Structure 1
Amino acid sequence: MTAERICTTAELQTDKAFRVVIEGEAIVVVKDSTGAVHAIGDTCTHGDISLAEGFVEDNAIECWAHGSQFSLATGKPLNLPAYEPVPVYNVNVDDSGVVYIDPANKTLAS
């Protein structure tokens, strides 16, 4: 599988979650306050809740249901009740600001 075009950086609002589904995988895309684009799994590992409906702050996304926060950079949970990480997807942004994600190119923090 090759990387799939998602959007442009101009279409992403800073610190707002943007949900996409690629090959059946729900992914949250976020442009942080520095302009960096992150992509992590959309499902909270504690309660099977969409993280895209949560809140983005300080390089983390918070599940609206139970308050677990996940690092946008590593996918690691930053507090309980979640204790399992979400996957992090490799993001490529080309010179024109187009964001690409390959759902096969992901990592899971240990």
Structure 2
Amino acid sequence: MTEPDGGIRVAALDDISEGEGLAISSEITGTEDDIAILRDLDGSCWALNDTCTHAQASLADGWVEDGYVECPVHSSRFCLRDGHVDGPPATVDTVPHRVEVREGEIYLFPNQRP
């Protein structure tokens, strides 16, 4: 559901365990790619394009820790803050999106930089 400020409520915070991710369909986000909502071990939430830039793998299925998500297929790492690739075989950054947590709910702002 789109909020007046442009955010989309995509999940409750409790829907995503720390160290895990959740893919949100591009049909909901209006973006070219699905968006992965990723929850780091410190409880913070981040959003990146879901498809790894190296292979057709979902970053929401990857491992999230210490500010990075690791692709479940070939172990490329992407920075949660800015989408910068930090480990081969990927060589192309991914796209970050702004998220906010309000009263236990996660809001996504597609195509807005964090």
TM-score by length of 2: 0.83
1:51 corresponding residue in structure 2 = 59
Q: Percent identity?
A: 29
SS of alignment partner, residue 52 of structure 1: helix
- TM superposition shift of 1:88: 0.6
1:98 to 79, 100, 105: 105
Measured on the aligned residues, the alpha-carbon RMSD in Å equals 1.7
SS of alignment partner, residue 29 of structure 1: strand
Distance in structure 1 (CA, Å) of the matches to 2:69 and 2:111: 22
Q: Which moved more, 1:70-79 or 1:48-57?
A: 48-57
1:4 to 3, 8, 11: 8
Please give the per-residue CA displacement for 1:45-93, whole angstroms capped at 9, x wherever unaligned. 1113211222223221111211101111111111111111111100112
Distance in structure 2 (CA, Å) of the matches to 1:34 and 1:55: 14
Distance in structure 2 (CA, Å) of the matches to 1:102 and 1:92: 8
Which runs of no fewer than 5 residues in structure 2 stay unpaired?
none
TM-score by length of 1: 0.85
Between Structure 1 and Structure 2, the one with more strand by share is 1
1:17 corresponding residue in structure 2 = 21
2:72 corresponding residue in structure 1 = 64
Which runs of no fewer than 5 residues in structure 1 stay unpaired?
none
Q: How does 1:28-43 map to 2 (within 5 A)?
A: 28-43=36-51
Provide runs of 4+ in structure 1 moved above 2 Å. Answer: none
